[in-house]
Amino acid sequence: MHDLLLDRPPWYVAGALIAFVVVGLMATINERIGVLGGFSQLVERAEGRSSSLGWKAWFLFGVIGGGALYALATGSWGGRASYAWLTDAIGPVGTGLLLVAGGTLIGFGAKTAGGCTSGNGIGGCGVGSRASYVATASFMATAIAATLLVRWLA
Amino acid sequence: MIRTAAVAFGVVFGFVLSWTGLADPSFIHKMLSLQTAYPYLLMATSIALTLTATRLLARGHARALLTHEPVRWSTLKPERRHVIGGSMFGLGWAMSSACPGPVAAQLGQGFGWGICTALGIFVGVRIYLRREVARARQQTPGLAAQAP
């Protein structure tokens, strides 16, 4: 079990599991997946724009819990994740600042586009929304172009 | 019940994001450098299955299990904001090699860098919401008088 969880599942298994979540939310509570919406609801609650948390905030808490469950199941608390290529190049302070700036663009940009990789990329595209196709093509193209450009310049 | 379902599906989502490595920035960096096809194939599989499943739900006039409403969704026509917002989001995604779902999973895994990205997301959302309020006030002058 432990080994199974340390190896990446085949992409078609993982894709089916993500679709299970997307379709499951629609089939049980008639809602379309979105993670950015959870962040947004927390901000709206904190600023007193809304008096209670919607389902998206609870979904976000679940995602955090899912990450914790994985770390517990594999004994990998702290994550097996890494920013080694960034910290090697620009140091820890530079990495931290880059992440805050990147996060700010993510928050503002995804709110403007009406969704992030989950809301537009898998949820919106999954129901055939043309706006989501355009948004997804825009963020994929920009992210790939920016990454390749930096690699080429560096 | 709705809250419980949202949390439960969220747990599955966060677990799968962690298991697949999508919450690992070094893997997303490989994805955006076009060194692995895995995340693209995963997304394509998920989209194809969801398109099929939602078509079946619509054809069967399915009702949501917990809310008992007919399952329905809205689709939008593309506007400028989808291109502009999407491009800004893509730039942030490239800078952090993370997006909102994986960032949440990182927080759960105890991956400290996720705090920086999450903080940025909160700031970005806050700026957007403030601008939205300011714009609404400009359009309806009456609102400005009521505001504190």
DSSP string, B1-14: -HHHHHHHHHHHHH
Please report, as a single letter, which amino acid is at residue A80: R
Alpha-helix residue ranges (DSSP H) falling in chain A: 2-6, 11-29, 36-46, 55-74, 84-113, 125-126, 130-153
Q: Taking the domains of chain B in order of start, what are their residue ranges? A: 2-146
Tokens of B112: 């400290």
CB contact (8 A) between residue A108 and residue B57: no
pLDDT digits (tens, 9 = 90+) for B50-105: 999 999 999 999 999 999 999 999 999 999 999 999 999 999 999 999 999 999 99
Instruction: Please report the ipTM that was assigned to this predicted complex.
Output: 0.96
B117 contacts on A by Cβ (under 8 Å): 99-100, 102-103, 106
- The owner of tokens 């290529």 is A85
B3: Cβ contacts below 8 Å, ≥ 6 apart: A55, A58
Q: Taking the domains of chain A in order of start, what are their residue ranges? A: 1-81, 83-154
Which DSSP category does B48 fall into?
A: H
For an interface test with B, the pick among A3, A20, A28 (most B C-beta atoms closer than 10 Å) comes out as A28
Contact yes or no for A64/B14 (Cβ under 8 A)? yes
pLDDT digits (tens, 9 = 90+) for B100-135: 999 999 999 999 999 999 999 999 999 999 998 888
